[in-house]
Amino acid sequence: MFSWSQARSAKVQAETAKESALYAQRQTVAAEEQLRLAREQFAAEIAVQHEAGGPTFELEPGSVFYDEQRYAKMTLCQVTGPVLASVVISYPDDYDNLSGLDGRDLGASSPGSRIPVQCDAEYNMVTPVAVSLTLTCTGANGETWVRGAGCQLDSEPDPAPSWRSRSRRR
């Protein structure tokens, strides 16, 4: 038989065990939250490292030419970064009177690569004009980066008249 003091002691022990279980449950929730935050921080650090290790580009100033139709020529240079499997241009076809750039895959690239970029230009396009390209780059292992590059386009200067053309005018 149990005495009244044994029953009371058992009740106190049960309440203590219940409080310990609740405390352990709260600690588990807190530890899970700390783990979630640590994983998020790790993922953010990996993303920063990925971006820092990505390519950088320069778009050299280009010109607008006329040879039966008007077109623009620029040169895209990969300055740094990994070898790329592809570089794709995103550029609205109706922006700045240039067309034929949006979705164009320029192919593979590596640091030091100079990629000629040519597109159609509207006949009545006013120059100079600033051009900004968005480049979606895919690395050899499938990783991707989105980069921007811009330049100024100006009209090609008219060729200087040759001595033959001057003599004909006289």
Over the stretch 26-37, which tens digit does the pLDDT of each residue have?
A: 999 999 999 998
- The 3-state DSSP composition of the chain as helix, strand, coil percent (nearest 5) reads 35, 40, 30
Give me the helices (H) in 53-153, please. none
What confidence tier does 160 reach under pLDDT thresholds 50, 70, 90? low
Predicted TM-score of the model (pTM): 0.67
Q: Which of 133, 136, 62, 128 is nearest to 93 (CA)?
A: 133
Question: Residue type at 10?
Answer: A
The greatest distance separating any two alpha carbons of the chain, rounded to the nearest whole angstrom, comes to: 136
Of 104-108, 118-122, 142-146, which range is least confident? 118-122
What confidence tier does 169 reach under pLDDT thresholds 50, 70, 90? very low
pLDDT score for 146: 93
Phi, psi of 144 (to 5 degrees): -130, 150
